Amino acid sequence: MTSGRGRVDVDLSGKVALVTGGSRGLGKEMVQALAAAGADVVISSRHQEACDELAATVREQTGRTALAVAAHAGRWDDVDRLVDAVYGQLGGVDILVNNAGMAPLYPRLSACSEELFDKTIAVNLKGPFRLGALIGERMVDGDGGSIINISSIGATHPTMTDLPYAAAKAGLNTLTVGFAVAFGPTVRSNGIMVGPFLTDISKAWDVPSFQDHARRRFPLQRLGEPSEIVGTALYLASNASSFTTGCVLTVDGGVSVSSPFMSKSG
């Protein structure tokens, strides 16, 4: 919402925001920020208990409606059921955040199984396509809305150890532009390509070594804190970005311009 010349306030009152992969990590941060900005939220992930727990916290801290719906983002039927549940209980979606993802690693390309490849593509690309298609069309028939796809710098800087994931995220960037074309002018579609954040997934990293590498190689010389996704997400969710669509913003601390890092570990 624009408030006076040159001033922008992020007010999402009266909006409904759906976040997949919303019970932890960057998804959890975005859920809490969207609710704090006034939106009612739908938290979806594979685990109902985790969704319920965060929903209770959101209701207590913000007073907003928080609906918890367990669904597997890579399964077509689950996505359809999720949409039916949200529209049935809350009447619509104004902000869709396709955040759910998986990035399994393997020792060499030939060791990536067909099952692992299919799961990676399903969660990172097939699910966002189906969810964006269903909700985007309903947004067009209603009052419009904003679609935000959470991508990765792997989409433009793939490595040997995460190639199916990188390919899926590159496809997600293409979906971002395609949704903008398909659903404009009332629906905006944008993406965020994220770099290394200290979320739950970082527990599998050698964090001290990674932090030391960041100090020597990254322009901002550190890894990202989960809360640092919030500003970009709120910008794209709100009318602050009313003239922005088909755009993929990079939030990575400068990692993607750090060629010595990218050439070694992606």
pLDDT per residue over 161-192, tens digit each?
A: 889 999 999 999 999 999 999 999 999 999 99
CA distance 77 to 186: 27
Which residues are marked as active site? 152, 165, 169
Q: Is the residue at 191 inside a domain? A: yes
Other C-beta atoms closer than 10 Å to the C-beta of 64 total 20
CATH of the domain at 91: 3.40.50.720
Looking at residue 216, its pLDDT comes to 61
Looking at residue 23, its pLDDT comes to 95
Q: What average pLDDT score do residues 239-255 get? A: 94
Q: What does 216-258 look like in DSSP terms, one character per residue?
A: HHSTT-SPBPGGGGHHHHHHHHSGGGTT--SEEEEESTTGGG-
Q: Is the residue at 4 inside a domain? A: no
Helix 127-141 crosses helix 163-183 at what angle (to 10 degrees)?
10
Q: Is the residue at 10 inside a domain? A: no
pLDDT per residue over 105-148, tens digit each?
A: 888 999 999 999 999 999 999 999 999 999 999 999 999 999 99
pLDDT per residue over 188-224, tens digit each?
A: 999 999 988 877 664 555 556 656 656 667 777 777 8
Predicted model pTM: 0.90
| Parent domain of 172 | 16-265
pLDDT per residue over 1-52, tens digit each?
A: 444 444 556 899 999 999 999 999 999 999 999 999 999 999 999 999 999 9
Instruction: Give the count of domains, the chain.
Output: 1
Looking at residue 37, its pLDDT comes to 97
Is the pLDDT at 245 greater than 70? The verdict is: yes
